[in-house]
Amino acid sequence: MSEAVIRRHLSQRVAVGKVMLGGGAPIVVQSMTNTDTADVEATTRQVYELAEAGSELVRITVNTPEAATAVAQIRSRLDRLGCDVPLVGDFHYNGHRLLTEFPDCAQVLAKYRINPGNVGRNREEDDPFSIMIATAVRYGKPVRIGVNWGSLDQNLVVRMMDENSRQAEPKDVREVTRAALIASALQSAQRAEQLGLAHDRIVLSCKVSEVQDLIAVYRALVQQCDYALHLGLTEAGMGSKGIVASTAALAVRRW
């Protein structure tokens, strides 16, 4: 019996500190702390434990001035422990201010995670999205543009729903919502490139909470771009539910 051939989507390769994403590089595991990032000791300890358990990237929440101040201290403590796992900063509504006001935080993070639905994305030069992208360009950082099922741009959804309703054979609402996720991610990536972020500095994700939706979204997404991809479920659930759902999503062998 011949062995099955696993065909991987060929994407751009993105460097996140010492770790490579996409472009044929091995699949990377990322986890996230659940500590208050402002608690330097607790967050350092959890990042270290995650790295020891096999997490190759660790995402931390940066949501307050105290958390932003703590990031450089956490990085310094990890370095003293001999732990060089790259740190990913998770930003939301005030990320543009925190990255601007705390340059040490902006410098030591290996990657920024931006959710366009939470930071805003206008055409003016001083909008939050533009500021965060400009900061990433200044410090040479890659950005994960993470579009989320629960915080999707409602103006985009309404417009696409209206367009769909005028079709002779309208698509299912769920299918249109999945298309809106993809459109939002690609539009945000295009905007980031217009603002100066290199193509190989962009990672895309379209986070949903159901396995079948995740598979459908990513199968469609790879037909439209060659960006490196971050794959994962949002609100997958606690305990065995989350383990089973995440394992099922990550186990699909071909996009």
pLDDT digits (tens, 9 = 90+) for 22-47: 999 999 999 999 999 999 999 999 99
Q: Confirm whether pTM is higher than 0.75.
A: yes
Q: Does 124 have pLDDT greater than 70?
A: no
Instruction: Please state, for a pLDDT cut of 70, what percent of the chain lies above it.
Output: 86
pLDDT of residue 248: 53
CB under 8 Å, gap of 24 or more: what pairs does 178-181 form?
Answer: 178/208, 178/213, 178/216, 178/217, 178/220, 179/220, 180/152, 180/153, 180/156, 181/147, 181/149, 181/152, 181/206, 181/208, 181/217
- Pick from 7-16, 86-95, 149-158, 160-169: least confident: 149-158
Q: Are 121 and 191 in contact (CB under 8 A)?
A: yes
- The tally of CA atoms less than 13 A away on the side-chain side of residue 113 is 23
Collect all residues with Cβ–Cβ distance below 8 Å to 178 and sequence separation of at least 6: 208, 213, 216, 217, 220
Collect all residues with Cβ–Cβ distance below 8 Å to 239 and sequence separation of at least 6: none
